[in-house]
Amino acid sequence: MKEVYREKCPARCTIFRWCQRYEAGRVNIKDFLCPGQAHVVTNSTTISAVDEVMRQNRRITTREIAVELSISKGTVHHIIHNKLGYGKVCAHWVPKHLSENQKTARMGVCLIQQFLH
């Protein structure tokens, strides 16, 4: 086998393990399902649910979102930062990239605050 497959040849212990499994009655070559946490695919439904929860409470943490929606913190973090483009500023979630209307509104708030002081 080594002459034919060279570096892609499986190790002897792997072949012995395959033979033991075959002799034990296993004939299916597909992998068995592994126990553990189910993998949640990041889809539009999950993204919109995270966005809705964040719009209701800008001070919510990723842990609280994960508990509320029953998804992992890593998935929530990926959605917030990579899909929705939010960042944390002064404990509030805000968009990283503002539209022209949002920039104008923020400028107006800053000017009002400047004249009040």
Task: Give the HSE-up count for residue 10: Cα atoms under 13 Å, Cβ half-sphere.
Answer: 8
High-pLDDT (> 70) share of the chain, %: 92
Tell me, what's the pLDDT at 62?
Answer: 92
Lowest-confidence pick of 44-48, 59-63, 92-96, 100-104: 92-96
Put simply, whether the predicted model's pTM sits higher than 0.85 gets the answer no
Above 90 in pLDDT, residue 86? no
pLDDT-based confidence at residue 56 (cuts at 50, 70, 90): very high
**Tokens 């943490």, located at residue:** 61
- Cα distances (angstroms) measured from residue 53 to each of 12, 97, 112, 117: 53, 20, 30, 35
Greatest CA separation for the chain: 84
The better pLDDT of the pair 40, 15 is held by: 15
Break the chain into its structural domains and give their ranges: 1-88
- The C-alpha atoms of residue 56 and residue 71 are separated, in whole angstroms, by 18
